[in-house]
Amino acid sequence: MDALDRAGNIERALLAAPQDQTNRHFVAAWLRWRRPGRLMPKRSAIELQDIKELLGRVILFELVSEDDVRVKVAGSQLRDHVNFEATGRNFAVITPPAQWPVRRWRLREMATRPCGGVMINRETETQSGDAVNFETVTLPVEPDGAGKPRLLISNVAVLGAIYEPPAKDRPQVVYMPDKFCFLDLGAGIPERDEP
């Protein structure tokens, strides 16, 4: 298989990986930003107008150090989903401590290999007690300039037409997903999904 066929297969697989149509739109925009022959787009290549209807659900992470993963921006709909503001916070602090080693490893793999990820979270701490399923797609972005922290961009979508607001007493944490898989962008994926 030649390089063009392989690239086309990778793009088709990336577009097919998400269940949600808005996540497929997010992946399509990321592929346009990436440009042919690149593993990931540069930050300066991101065109926010391509995803303007998704911005309330987009997260931009900056991997400052192993245990400092900054939530640079978290869309306002995400604040409504978890009942707290994540923008500016360290993802390590809003992840349950026992879950942080796995999450840290996955984030680092996605940012440095690079590869993407698709995950499903089942949120049961809602006002009605009914579960809501969220699908998140995370993709790497190359920083503009040497020595700057690695970046990841995510889009979060509600699966199905049912959304329930979070319970008032929901802990201010972001739980690990119930399902997770890496996405090959052309540089391969880890052999396993946990360290």
* All structural domains of the chain: 3-183 (3.30.450.20)
Q: With bands split at pLDDT 50, 70 and 90, how would you rate the model's confidence at 21?
A: very high
Q: With bands split at pLDDT 50, 70 and 90, how would you rate the model's confidence at 128?
A: confident
Query: What's the mean pLDDT when you consider all of the chain?
Result: 92
Q: Is the pLDDT of residue 4 over 60?
A: no
187, β-bridge pairs: none
Predicted local distance difference test score (pLDDT) of residue 80: 84
157-192 pLDDT, tens digit each: 999 867 778 888 888 889 999 999 999 999 999 999
Share of the chain above pLDDT 70, in %: 97
Predicted local distance difference test score (pLDDT) of residue 168: 85
More confident residue, 14 or 82: 14
Q: Is the pLDDT of residue 127 over 90?
A: no
CB within 8 Å of 12: residues ≥ 6 apart: none
Region 22-41: mean pLDDT is 95
